[in-house]
Amino acid sequence: MSQLRKDPIVSRWTIIATERARRPAAFVDPQSVITEQKHCPYCKDIASPGIYESHGVKVMNSTSPILDNSKPFERHGHGLYDVSHSFGSHEIVLETPEHIANMADLSKEQMVAVFKTYGLRMQEHRKNPFIEYIIAYKNYGVAAGSRNIGHARSQIMAVPVLPMRVKDKIDGAEKFFDYHERCLFCDMVSQELKNKERVIVENDHFVVIAPFASRFPFETWILPKNHHCDFAEGIKGHENSLAAIMKDILLRFKLGLNDPAYNYMIQTSPVKNPSAFKDNYHWHIEVMPRLTRVAGFERGTGFYICPIPPEMTAAFLREVDIHA
Amino acid sequence: MPELRRDPVVGRWVIIDSEHSQGPADFPKDNNTPTHQAICPFCPGREHQTPPEVDAVRPLKSLANTAGWLVRTVPNKFPVLIAEGSLQKEGIGIYDQMTGIGAHEVLIEGPDHEKSLTEFTKDEMQAVISQYRGRFRQLAQDRRFKYVVIFKNYGSSAGATVEHTHSQIIALPMVPKTVLEELKGAEHYHQYRGRCVFCDMIAQEYQDKERIVAENNSFLAFCPYAPRYAFETWIIPKGHSADFSSIDETAQANLAQILQDVLKRVKKVLNNASYNYYFHTAPIGYANTACYHWHIEIIPKLTRSVGFEWGTGLHIVPTMPQDAARFLREA
């Protein structure tokens, strides 16, 4: 019997369609990396100066930025519409000097350097008084919105508004905290660890789960076991653990799902008024293989149809042998 | 200069990338899947290959589940929600779940396998609209349902898996999130100003003119000021109306006309791109009808959403809406 499940954070309902559950192998979307190393623009860029550089990780301004912080942020109205120019920053993080496509194939040490870089750039962007939110994210593979260049990179955007999905999460977490005086994500971590069926892997500081109300097949969340609202502060001292668990889950995708396209995004608390989020928000990372297409129903309703129960995807990913 | 814009209904911010505003030629061509007429279960003569029909337009009064229909609605063979059973809600620790009760129907828009909506005659198009309304009214009578969604996926990259022209209808036991957000925004606006935000939007679109795509006596088609997708186009009744299923015969004919008109423009300008459209209408039994205003959103599938958009809901739109409207208007 199919189920409807509600995400306790943003109150988003999901249909878990067990009637049409497909076997994991039916979702295959292999990547063919086409750019040869000699044509890779990022291999050339690695020699040019960037905004920040450390341990083979380099941060550069996007060559086609959609945000621009050269002018101060200003909002105005146009009749009933609100408008401002698109103030903010848009940076590219080159994760390695080597021509390696998938982050799963980087060394753990290299991944540590990437996560430290995210944290440092976030600390830098929050100094700008107009910035409300900073997101670090990755698009790997064409189906995830990336160009097929074959050089591991991620992006950081700093924006002057609180994006809607972020606000949904924060509102949900606040509501839960007001009522229970506990962090929703901390409760989630303990319930998932007790229940086990949606846990894919864990280490000392992190647990990876297939969320109860997944929107997409093989959607996974990396949740810190220790409460902290902010990524940049929260990872301090835990960078090695995070790199280990990220490498683990990305290898499970690569080996178990035939190198699929994927996105990940770091969900952290808003920049302004940090004390308001200290107790009720809990940073985490959403990692999403891109195996299905979003159709009219999902677009029109925000109501996602996940064609496979998360318990089944968690079991599948748990059994992938990443040491083979 | 790029702009950030906020949708006045749900408060959603978008980035309008006017620096690199793209024309229709900048998007890759879409490869629609080839036709497999020989095995199509939606073609006349194969009525037995679908579940028994729930409704059909049969001008010559032919028997149910035989050929001779103009539009035919059948339960989806692979439904995402099941119509039989009662609605049961349950909590598991911090999580809530309920049984997947609902209806999932396929509306086969015409008997001709080769014909898409843009090639329909006026009568054929009107039969589709009339069937939409009929199914909506029927499903709205089931007390377990709170919302009915009518939608269409055209082309494989918009999620269509069968090429024979069809739409889908899903009846849900709750109001979906995107609609709730619109309702909340519209109610808030109405409380504050005593007017319908959509009616105000129509007035401003007439004033600004640059985002209008087409109009007739009953409907306006325009590219919204703060869209989520390139070439996103809305069709909205000019007069205030919360509930799609309340439209009269004249409005049905006008809706058939403007929907086909916009789809023809989209097809021509965007090189037969895949698209989705869906109806946004008031929930079943919704009382605050003064606040809400039903409409259709048409979304050509031109770009892939990236991690940033998934993570934030902050969409990056590569075409200015007034440019999109001009391309569509002049087609």
The pLDDT tens digits of the residues spanning A263-304 come to 999 999 999 988 899 999 999 999 999 887 777 777 787 777
> DSSP label at B82?
B
| B91-105 per-residue burial string, b: 16 or more CB within 10 A, e: under 16 | eeebbbbbbbbbbbb
**Chain B closest-CA separation from residue A82 CA (Å):** 5
Task: Report the sign of the C-alpha dihedral through residues A223, A224, A230, A232, in that order.
Answer: negative
- B311 pLDDT higher than 80: no
Give the span between the Cα atoms of A79 and A83, in whole angstroms.
10
> DSSP label at A266?
E
Question: Counting one residue from A and one from B, how many pairs have CB atoms under 8 Å apart?
Answer: 226
Candidates A137, A264, A293; nearest CB to B157: A293
Chain A contact set for B296 (CB, 8 A): none
Token pair 């190393």 in the structure block, residue? A37
CB neighbours (10 Å) of residue A251? 18
CA atoms within 13 A on the CB side of B212: 15
> DSSP label at B39?
G
Cβ-defined contact of B305 to A288 (cutoff 8 Å): no
**Chain A closest-CA separation from residue B61 CA (Å):** 33
- The helix-helix angle for A108-125 and A239-256 (nearest 10°) equals 120
The pair of three-digit structure tokens given for residue B218, joined into one six-digit string: 């009953």
Cβ-defined contact of A82 to B5 (cutoff 8 Å): yes
CA A95 from centroid of its chain's CA atoms: 16
Q: Across residues B223-234, what is the average pLDDT?
A: 90
**Chain A closest-CA separation from residue B229 CA (Å):** 11
- A217 pLDDT higher than 90: no
Cβ-defined contact of B308 to A1 (cutoff 8 Å): no
- The helix-helix angle for A184-195 and A164-180 (nearest 10°) equals 80
* Opening angle at CA B182, ends B157 and B174, nearest 5: 80
Give the span between the Cα atoms of A194 and A205, in whole angstroms.
16
- A1 pLDDT higher than 50: no
Give the span between the Cα atoms of B106 and B53, in whole angstroms.
9
Give the span between the Cα atoms of B196 and B193, in whole angstroms.
8
Pick from A97-101, A236-240, B13-17: least confident: B13-17
Q: What are phi and psi of A289, to 5 degrees?
A: -65, 145
Predicted TM-score (pTM) of this structure? 0.88
Give the span between the Cα atoms of A218 and A310, in whole angstroms.
7
Query: What pLDDT shows up at residue B31?
Result: 41
What stretches of B194-320 show up as alpha helix (H) in DSSP? 197-208, 249-269, 307-312
A61-103 per-position pLDDT tens digit: 887 666 777 777 777 777 888 777 778 888 999 999 999 999 9
Percentage of chain A modeled with pLDDT above 70: 88
B294–chain A Cβ distance below 8 A for any pair: no
Query: What pLDDT shows up at residue A20?
Result: 44
Query: What pLDDT shows up at residue A290?
Result: 87
Candidates A13, A143, A184; nearest CB to B177: A13
Residue A223: which pLDDT band, with cuts at 50, 70 and 90? very high
Nearest one of B284, B203, B274 to B236, comparing CA atoms: B203
Cβ-defined contact of B17 to A12 (cutoff 8 Å): no
Q: A229: helix, coil or strand?
A: coil
Candidates A161, A165, A195; nearest CB to B4: A161
Give the span between the Cα atoms of B157 and B300, in whole angstroms.
10
Locate the chain A residue with the closest alpha carbon to B227. A81
Query: What pLDDT shows up at residue A16?
Result: 52
- B18 pLDDT higher than 50: no
Cβ-defined contact of A295 to B159 (cutoff 8 Å): yes
Give the span between the Cα atoms of A133 and A267, in whole angstroms.
10
Facing residues of A263 across strands?
Answer: A139, A288
CB neighbours (10 Å) of residue A296? 26
Residue B8: which pLDDT band, with cuts at 50, 70 and 90? low
Nearest one of A60, A58, A74 to A130, comparing CA atoms: A74
Chain B contact set for A3 (CB, 8 A): 97-100
* Distant-in-sequence, close-in-space partners of A233: CB < 8 Å, separation ≥ 6: none
Locate the chain B residue with the closest alpha carbon to A64. B20
Q: In a 10 Å sphere around its CB, with 0-12 CB exposed, 13-18 middle and 19+ buried, how is residue B63 labelled?
A: exposed
B150–chain A Cβ distance below 8 A for any pair: no
What stretches of chain A show up as alpha helix (H) in DSSP? 41-45, 108-125, 164-180, 184-195, 231-234, 239-256, 296-301, 310-318
Strands (E), B93-179: 95-99, 103-108, 147-154, 166-172
CA B324 from centroid of its chain's CA atoms: 19
Query: What pLDDT shows up at residue B109?
Result: 97
Chain A contact set for B3 (CB, 8 A): 83-86
Cβ-defined contact of A144 to B94 (cutoff 8 Å): no
The total number of residues written for chain B in this structure: 331
Give the span between the Cα atoms of A305 and B189, in whole angstroms.
31
The pair of three-digit structure tokens given for residue A226, joined into one six-digit string: 């220790």
* Distant-in-sequence, close-in-space partners of A317: CB < 8 Å, separation ≥ 6: A200, A201, A210, A218, A220, A249, A252, A253, A256
Average pLDDT, chain A: 85
Locate the chain B residue with the closest alpha carbon to A85. B3
Between A303 and A119, the more confident residue is A119
Q: What is the four-CA torsion angle of A97, A98, A101, A107, rounded to 10 degrees?
A: -90
Residues of B that are catalytic: 166
CA atoms within 13 A on the CB side of B219: 27
Give the span between the Cα atoms of B242 and B71, in whole angstroms.
26
Query: What pLDDT shows up at residue B22?
Result: 53
Chain A contact set for B223 (CB, 8 A): none
The pair of three-digit structure tokens given for residue A298, joined into one six-digit string: 């999902």
Locate the chain A residue with the closest alpha carbon to B95. A8
